[in-house]
Amino acid sequence: MTRVTTFGAQALYHLRHPTWRGVALSLAALPTLVLLYFILLIPFTPSIRDIQKSRTQQPARVMSADGQELAAFKGANRDRIKLADISPNVVAALISTEDHRFYEHHGLDFTRIGGAVLRTFGGDLQGGSTLTQQLARNLYPEEVGRSRSLTRKFKEIITALKIEAIYSKDEILETYLNTVPFLYNAFGIEMAARTYFDKSADKLDVLESATLVGMLKGTSYYNPVMNPERAKERRNLVLGQMVRHNKLDAKRYETLKKRPLKVDFERQTEPLGAAPHLTQFLRRWLIDWADRNDYNIYADGLVVRTTIDSRLQKLANEAVKRQADRLQGVANNEWGPRAWAGKKELVRALVRETPEYKVAKEQGEADEALLKRLLADTAFVQALRQDKTRLQAGFLALDPSNGHVKAWVGSRDFAKDPFDHVQQARRQAGSTFKPFVYGAAFENGARPTDTYMDDAVEISLGGNQVWRPTDGGGPSYVPMTLREGLMYSKNTITAQVMQSVGPARVAALAQAAGVRQSKLEQVMSLALGTSPVTLKEMVAGYATIANKGSYIEPFIVTSLEDRNGKVLETWQAKAPEQAMQVSTAQTLVDVMRGVIDQGTGVGIRSRYGIQADVAGKTGTTQDNTDGWFILMHPQLVAGAWVGFNDNRITLSDYWGQGAHSALPIVGDFFAASLRGRVVDAQARFDVPKNSTAPEPAPSSSVNDWFNSLFPPAGQVVPPSQPMTTPDGSPIPGYQPPPQVQAPPLVPQSPGVVIPSSPAPGAAPPQFVVVPGRPMTPQERGGGSGGGIPILREYSVPEGASRP
């Protein structure tokens, strides 16, 4: 080595101080210097181990608990296939055009290199790379590079020689055809075949094969979609090369070269999988794990085992799509062009937030002129309206006994909205937060039978500030138990409960139960769910209630394996934490059964026919910005949120309520889960049903009672007949006047507001109902609206309404 170094130094000296003898010595030394430089570059090229792995590289896969693939983490949009599954026409075209001595050389074609050098000196820049050298560039674009330099060429040659030493010729061909890029995010011959000809690679004919191989000289320049004439010329050149190398008959060539391209273009999208929001979250987690443990998630064939149940995930996807699509139709009607045009100030504000406005503003266009121009652009306004009024939803289901996440739907469509409304979005929870208020009271010794007066509430906040929570129909001026306050979601009762226990205690219980990432403001209005939280936190909180007050952090990944099934690491759910007393959790479960049996969640029974032992709560925030519903079952807790990404966009008073927006998603999901026996319909909470809680009246009894109150249109109500409940008890403070003509019951679109309790002697209210649906919160006098409070327990039965 000393001699070589000295020799090299002498050569450099003579290059700096040229003489005839020095030039001769330098030229003699150049091969040694080149060889030395070549050897020094070897450690800076891919290792033998890396090249061995690339031949069998496999993407990491995410698997459900029942063994179904949820996602595969591919480095590019490709489907790797065997050489036997590739049309022979492709191989013939490729070798004829790119490297006809492929089976004769060992990575370097010296004949081709020599010819390329001579043509380059003659002014015709030529490449001499073999397929193996091209594969080296495709596999290792960063390590080898693509710059026109001696260093890059040496790295390419070194890598090609390593590939030839490890791979067979067929393996080189297979790997090459699976990695070569073809534009439009299509990598490999299988994706190219689907993209340009809508068929698999084994079905490609001679013309199609020649077209795709022809693209390799310059994918953009010979793009058959954008540059069909160039692509056709290049295709025919490839066909000519096939004739030259005896891969195609000359007579057939004369016929084929006249035919058109016949491209059947369809851009291929990477499969999103059954739970794309969850798997994207897991991709980030796995990348971090792989970096720390020297693995490649795109090549090493890692297998991630999760808690997801593919059956429940499928049902959740279907329920979200079905119900959200239905609600989108409502949103389209409520936010049609006429309604949109009527919201001038809002629309102007939305326009000012668009990229188009901001770019034009930065370029100096005046505000009013810019607004006028954009508002006059019909396509722009329509696109903005569609974007802002696109309804969104999130859904999560987990097993309360162990925290295992069973289904996760982050939005209606990941491709259109990758934002995750399960874990990322923070929205006001509305009345779904109320169980934590009542739970804090029960922890403090209160009982479900304790009563408060449903009266106007004024709570001093200090500093001359007064909080006046109300319900839509005003107070009923009757005493209500805590059980009734939660069942019917009465804001006035909940506010008084909050006043008795204090915001700090409520916030502490909610945080212990599962709301652990979002900050809860310790203010009185927290009782009505004004602090933004995530759906994941709320479902976890309800799972704590269902799990006898024991919190288990939601849990997803159970193990990680290598490609051979060897377990690399396992995980278990964290130890349970007792967030509330067992008796408190049991009391909440029993009270919240009443929400489903008679309260704001009766649609679970009446509409979806679910008779299992379930409990839950609806939630609706101010101006119907957010709709929530969470349902608890001994084996599964599931919750949904529905709303718009921009909270200035809302639904109407009827459709915006959680009972009509979020409840249908959960109801649909649970009904299907029970029918499919994925969830046991016979499972019961270990909580006795409180004997003092009123049972839901049989439908026939309700029907008879309803008809006795409101006889057919035109029939006269007997004088001084008191209005009573089905069990015969009088309605406090209500006595119809003599000879009142019963109003007709008119079926029409839901959403009417029922007036609050009339004074004695006033005419009975005009009911407008929809056949076979539960009474709305307005009709029941719930927290979302007013009504006749005593009617809050009963549903409008099938056949009760008459034209």
Please compute the mean of the pLDDT values over residues 511-533 and round it to a whole number. 96
For residue 771, pLDDT over 50 is answered with no
Region of 376 please: left (phi>0), alpha (psi -120 to 50) or beta. alpha
- Can you give the pTM of this predicted structure? 0.74
Q: What is the mean pLDDT of the chain?
A: 81
pLDDT at 52: 64
pLDDT at 749: 34
pLDDT at 74: 83
Between CA 638 and CA 669 the distance in angstroms is: 9
Between CA 17 and CA 469 the distance in angstroms is: 95
Span 361-375, pLDDT tens digits: 999 999 999 999 999
For residue 248, pLDDT over 60 is answered with yes
Q: How many Cα neighbours within 13 Å face the side chain of 589?
A: 26
Between CA 802 and CA 128 the distance in angstroms is: 87
Please compute the mean of the pLDDT values over residues 637-648 and round it to a whole number. 96
Give residue 574's pLDDT band: very low, low, confident or very high (50, 70, 90): very high
User: Which range, of 38-52, 407-421, 631-645, 739-753, averages the lowest pLDDT?
Assistant: 739-753
For residue 75, pLDDT over 50 is answered with yes
| Cβ neighbours of residue 127 closer than 8 Å, sequence gap 6 or more | 116
513 and 580 in contact (C-beta within 8 Å)?
A: yes
User: Which range, of 6-20, 229-243, 649-663, 744-758, averages the lowest pLDDT?
Assistant: 744-758
| Better-predicted residue by pLDDT, 633 or 76 | 633
What is the arrangement of strands in the sheet containing 405-409, beginning at the earlier edge strand? 405-409, 391-398, 636-644, 626-633, 615-620
pLDDT at 136: 83
622 and 648 in contact (C-beta within 8 Å)?
A: no
792 and 782 in contact (C-beta within 8 Å)?
A: yes
Give residue 689's pLDDT band: very low, low, confident or very high (50, 70, 90): confident
Please compute the mean of the pLDDT values over residues 122-128 and round it to a whole number. 51
Please compute the mean of the pLDDT values over residues 681-685 and round it to a whole number. 96
Please compute the mean of the pLDDT values over residues 5-13 and round it to a whole number. 49
Q: Which residues of 680-691 are buried (b: 16+ CB within 10 A; e: fewer)?
A: eeeeebebeebe
751 and 653 in contact (C-beta within 8 Å)?
A: yes
Phi and psi torsions of 677, nearest 5°: 60, 25
pLDDT at 113: 62
Between CA 553 and CA 405 the distance in angstroms is: 10
Region of 10 please: left (phi>0), alpha (psi -120 to 50) or beta. alpha
For residue 256, pLDDT over 80 is answered with yes
Kindly state the DSSP code that residue 524 receives in the 8-state scheme.
G
765 and 787 in contact (C-beta within 8 Å)?
A: no
* Integer CA distances (angstroms), 383 to 345, 350, 354, 369, 411, in order: 18, 12, 11, 20, 20
Residue 364: both structure tokens together: 């100096």
Kindly state the DSSP code that residue 624 receives in the 8-state scheme.
G
pLDDT at 269: 77
Q: How many Cα neighbours within 13 Å face the side chain of 322?
A: 14
Between CA 385 and CA 86 the distance in angstroms is: 47
Between CA 402 and CA 397 the distance in angstroms is: 12
Give residue 488's pLDDT band: very low, low, confident or very high (50, 70, 90): very high
What's the burial of 350, exposed, middle or buried (CB within 10 Å: 0-12/13-18/19+)?
buried
pLDDT at 9: 53
Phi and psi torsions of 740, nearest 5°: -90, 130
Give residue 64's pLDDT band: very low, low, confident or very high (50, 70, 90): very high
pLDDT at 319: 97
DSSP sequence for 426-456: -EE-GGGGHHHHHHHHHHTT--TT-EEE---
Nearest-10 crossing angle of helices 535-546, 434-443: 40
Beta bridge partners of 62: 71, 304
Please compute the mean of the pLDDT values over residues 779-789 and round it to a whole number. 35
Give residue 649's pLDDT band: very low, low, confident or very high (50, 70, 90): very high
Nearest to 351 by CA among 318, 387, 320: 387
Give residue 2's pLDDT band: very low, low, confident or very high (50, 70, 90): very low
For residue 697, pLDDT over 50 is answered with no
Give residue 465's pLDDT band: very low, low, confident or very high (50, 70, 90): confident
Give residue 423's pLDDT band: very low, low, confident or very high (50, 70, 90): very high
Please give the single-letter amino acid code of residue 794.
Answer: Y
Between CA 594 and CA 230 the distance in angstroms is: 73
pLDDT at 166: 86
In the chain, the percentage of residues whose pLDDT exceeds 70 is: 76
Q: Distance between alpha carbon 277 and the CA centroid of its chain, in Å?
A: 4
What's the burial of 371, exposed, middle or buried (CB within 10 Å: 0-12/13-18/19+)?
middle
pLDDT at 156: 78
Please compute the mean of the pLDDT values over residues 223-244 and round it to a whole number. 95
For residue 675, pLDDT over 50 is answered with yes
Greatest CA separation for the chain = 134
Give residue 620's pLDDT band: very low, low, confident or very high (50, 70, 90): very high
Nearest to 534 by CA among 555, 519, 550, 553: 519
User: Which range, of 218-227, 358-367, 419-428, 789-798, averages the lowest pLDDT?
Assistant: 789-798
Span 152-177, pLDDT tens digits: 777 778 878 888 888 899 999 999 99
pLDDT at 21: 60
| Cβ neighbours of residue 333 closer than 8 Å, sequence gap 6 or more | none
Span 537-557, pLDDT tens digits: 999 999 999 999 999 999 999
What is the arrangement of strands in the sheet containing 557-561, beginning at the earlier edge strand? 69-73, 60-63, 303-306, 557-561, 567-570
pLDDT at 44: 59
Nearest to 489 by CA among 580, 618, 657: 618
DSSP sequence for 659-692: HHHTHHHHHHHHHHHHHTTSS-TT---SSPPPTT
For residue 350, pLDDT over 90 is answered with yes
Q: Distance between alpha carbon 469 and the CA centroid of its chain, in Å?
A: 35
Please compute the mean of the pLDDT values over residues 330-356 and round it to a whole number. 93
| Better-predicted residue by pLDDT, 76 or 376 | 376
Angle at 645 between CA 642 and CA 649, to 5 degrees: 85
User: Which range, of 133-137, 225-229, 285-289, 675-679, averages the lowest pLDDT?
Assistant: 133-137
Phi and psi torsions of 618, nearest 5°: -90, 165
Give residue 133's pLDDT band: very low, low, confident or very high (50, 70, 90): confident
User: Which range, of 317-321, 336-340, 470-474, 783-787, averages the lowest pLDDT?
Assistant: 783-787
Full 3-state SS string of 45-59? CCCHHHHHHHHCCEC
Residue 344: both structure tokens together: 């001038």
User: Which range, of 106-115, 196-205, 569-578, 733-742, averages the lowest pLDDT?
Assistant: 733-742
Alpha-carbon Rg for the chain in angstroms: 36
User: Which range, of 115-124, 202-211, 378-387, 775-784, averages the lowest pLDDT?
Assistant: 775-784
